[in-house]
Amino acid sequence: MHPQLRAWAQLVRVPNTLTSCADVLAGFVLAVGIGWRFESVGPSLLVISLASICLYWAGMVLNDVHDIEEDKAQRRNGPLVRGLIAVSTARNAGWGLLFAGIVLSMVSTYLLPGTIEAPAYWLVGGNAVILAVFIVAYDSSLKATAVGPLLMGLCRGFNMLLGVSLGACLNVSGESSLTLPVTDYLDWPSICLATVGHVFFVTGITLAARREEVLNQSSFRLGMSWGVSILGVASIAACSVWSTDRALRLDPNVWFPLFVALLAMPWLRRAIVSIRSPGIGTLVPAIKQAILSILFLDATIAFQFGGLLPGVLICGLAIPTFALSRIFRVT
């Protein structure tokens, strides 16, 4: 791979990219349930996924731009520190990606089947703007404050809501070419619990990773951080308990929570190891596993509310994600 291309891939944390797509797809399925056909909404889902990628990459780039002096002081091995990419170039790229993400999110609504009411176009764009605001807020002096980890969690939550808002456009459409009628309401209990679950899960990851470079980690701090992530998993596991959707695939009280718990076990095992033997050697694998677990949590949500196709589709994103994680750093 060309050194410059490799530097950009590392700057945007390319292995994590598809986790942002997984959030959007899971959010869309939460909004529309089983009432959609992939060939009808595929172009729109592709564009909203590209919008999510642009916003995610923007966050990664602007994060390193903001941290450049600290990274130099700690001699971190990043593309900006090594001078492979100019800071000014990265800054311009970050803001450009942020703008592109907002524009693409609005374009995605025009590709939906049927006739969409005008206010719906602004629903997705407005959500993208809010997400962009949280991204910029995190990649600022607020990052080092107590609210920093929560801002990162909110970025992940509003990324999922980006997909929900696109699905909501179908719910307010005057007509639709879908094979099954889309309900005229949103499953708010499930949407709220799934979104809050993502917020807490990523907030906990961010808290745990906050002092990743410190060799002597605090077991108590790591325990509290991973505890927040556990609350997120619990919220996701409970997201279908009060669902208004009668077409759920798994028992919301037993099998779905059990399935979510089993998928979280690989990360939880590494998290426990990082608490018992704190240090960068145990923390980094736990963080990496936590990020990759987002894919499977999203796939489970998509399967529960939308069936086998969206679940398998999101699960399939794990293949390139794992492959890229062997080549590029995840954190």
**Does pLDDT of 60 surpass 70?**
yes
Closest CA relative to residue 207, chosen from 239, 238, 231, 172: 231
Q: Which amino acid makes up residue 212?
A: E
Report whether 285 contacts 209 (CB < 8 A).
no
Query: How far is it, in rounded angstroms, from Cα 115 to Cα 92?
Result: 37
Q: Is 142 helix (H, G, I), strand (E, B) or coil?
A: helix
The pLDDT of 30-49, averaged and rounded, is: 84
**Token digits for 277?**
């033997």
**Does pLDDT of 98 surpass 70?**
yes
Residue 82 is assigned to a structural domain of this protein: yes
Residue 178 is assigned to a structural domain of this protein: no
Rg (C-alpha) for the chain, rounded Å, is 19
Residue with tokens 């374009």: 107
Closest CA relative to residue 318, chosen from 5, 114, 25: 25
Q: pLDDT per residue over 262-319, tens digit each?
A: 999 999 999 999 999 988 889 999 999 999 999 999 999 999 999 888 999 999 999 9
Q: pLDDT per residue over 133-190, tens digit each?
A: 999 999 999 998 999 999 999 999 999 999 999 988 875 544 443 433 344 568 889 9
Total count of domains within the chain:
1
Q: Is 176 helix (H, G, I), strand (E, B) or coil?
A: coil
Confidence (pLDDT) at 1: 65
pLDDT-above-90 percentage for the chain: 68
Residue 261 is assigned to a structural domain of this protein: yes
The pLDDT of 104-124, averaged and rounded, is: 79
Confidence grade of residue 117 (pLDDT, cut at 50, 70, 90): low
Q: Which of 89-98, 238-247, 257-266 comes out lowest in average pLDDT?
A: 238-247
Residue-number span of the structural domain to which 215 is assigned: 3-173+183-325
The pLDDT of 34-58, averaged and rounded, is: 88
pLDDT-above-70 percentage for the chain: 89
Please provide the average confidence, as pLDDT, over all residues in the chain: 89
Confidence (pLDDT) at 70: 86
Confidence grade of residue 233 (pLDDT, cut at 50, 70, 90): very high
Residue 331 is assigned to a structural domain of this protein: no
DSSP states of 182-242 as a string? PPSS--HHHHHHHHHHHHHHHHHHHHHHTTTT-SS--HHHHHHHHHHHHHHHHHHHTTTTT
Residue 15 backbone class (left: φ over 0; alpha: ψ -120 to 50; beta: rest) = alpha
The residue with greater pLDDT, 214 or 233, is 233
